[in-house]
Amino acid sequence: MIVLGIETSCDETSVAIVRKKANDKFGTLLSENTLSQVKKHNKYGGVVPELASREHENSLDLLVRKTIDESNISLKKIDAFAATTGPGLLGGLLIGSNYAKTLSLINKKPFVSVNHLQGHALVARMKNKIDFPFLCLLVSGGHTQILLVKNYNAFEILGETLDDALGEAFDKTAKLLGYGYPGGPVIEKLASQKKKSNIFDLPKPLKNSKNFDFSFSGLKTSVRKIIENSDKKKIEKDLANDFQVCVTEILTSKLEKAIIYTKNKINLSTLVLAGGVASNDYIRNEFESMCKKNFINLIVPEKNLCVDNATMIAWAAIERLSHLKFSDPFNEKPKPRWSLETI
């Protein structure tokens, strides 16, 4: 099975072609091209929806043609076309899904509507043996969720952020320190140059609560007050480190509780760390230690598969088509707010 996937939910225009042969355990990426809009949005301190839509519209057709050429696969040999149809920015979702639907209609092949978060949660299975059910911590610029992944199309949200996503908290902290978007790589780099640790008394909201939910708005406010009352250039490295350590402690604490809770109910062997924030090496290492302590396997996709990409969309479509081979309705509208529990 060969699927062309399109991802245009935010500020990355991405196209990929993925193949999974009938007897293969895993999938193979034949080609992928991604055009990042980071430089376009950097000066605004975040993603501008209208600008993102215009960039998707200007580049998508070229990326599709280039990806097909580089795959050495003719258009006729592609078995299905998939696109992110939510959640995300409406303009981008419309552009990507309409393009995929057009290819499906012209070539008389199925169209697969993919939830963006579903793509993040499942892409680790493309290169790793991961049996259902498994736990997934999905941490990105727009979402922070603990998921119990029961099947390719069955998800239970055990906990999620009550306010800001963790990726947004990284972005806001970097912006307060005078840096541009995205903030995650900036904070990680500054933290690696720290002189001292545990200098600032940062709150850890909900860390000790019995549920699995998160809250990062109070932490963001605390960081802002510290910066307003300090010479930010003198404290930026140590503050970035303390912030990174703080949020990682919150994450590992919540996941440890979720692992214990889930193990008491089902046979659980794997935790998947997914989303753009999963690219952070410090967070990866701390989760490795926590999982060893709790006798559970940790799987983290390659960094290029943690950020938004079309490979995960094509793979999610392959997972779906392996069970249900029919096309999704061509009149299905994008869903800017689309919960995984309603797939």
Which of these, 174, 172, 207, lies nearest to 188 by C-alpha position?
174
AA identity, residue 112: V
Non-local (6+) Cβ contacts of 295 within 8 A are none
d(CA 62, CA 206): 46
219: exposed, middle or buried (Cβ count in 10 Å: 0-12, 13-18, 19+): buried
Tell me the C-alpha to C-alpha distance, in Å, between residue 201 and each of 138, 161, 239, 247, 315: 27, 22, 10, 13, 43
d(CA 70, CA 16): 10
d(CA 39, CA 343): 34
pLDDT of residue 333: 96
- b/e sequence 137-154, b meaning 16+ C-beta within 10 Å: bbbbbbbbbbbbbeebbe
pLDDT digits (tens, 9 = 90+) for 137-151: 999 989 999 999 999
Which of these, 290, 339, 334, 18, lies nearest to 147 by C-alpha position?
339
pLDDT of residue 46: 86
pTM: 0.96
Neighbours of 284 (CB within 10 A): 16
Q: What is the dihedral of CA 1, 95, 145, 20, to 10 degrees?
A: 10
Q: Which helix (H) or strand (E) holds 269?
A: none
Q: Domains plus CATH for the chain?
A: 2-123+305-342 (3.30.420.40), 131-300 (3.30.420.40)
Q: What are phi and psi of 301, to 5 degrees?
A: -60, 160
Q: Which residues pair with 160 in a beta bridge?
A: 145
Encoded tokens for 261: 């809770």
Which of these, 283, 308, 79, 301, lies nearest to 191 by C-alpha position?
283
pLDDT of residue 211: 96
Output Rg (C-alpha) for the chain, integer angstroms: 20
Q: Which residues pair with 36 in a beta bridge?
A: 12
Stretches in the chain below the pLDDT threshold 50: none
Which own/partner contact pairs does 256-260 have at CB distance under 8 Å and 24+ positions apart?
256/290, 256/293, 256/294, 257/210, 257/212, 258/135, 258/146, 258/158, 258/159, 258/212, 259/135, 259/294, 259/296, 260/294
d(CA 134, CA 150): 7
pLDDT of residue 44: 86
d(CA 331, CA 129): 35
Cis ω for the linkage preceding 336 (within 30 of 0): no
pLDDT of residue 43: 82
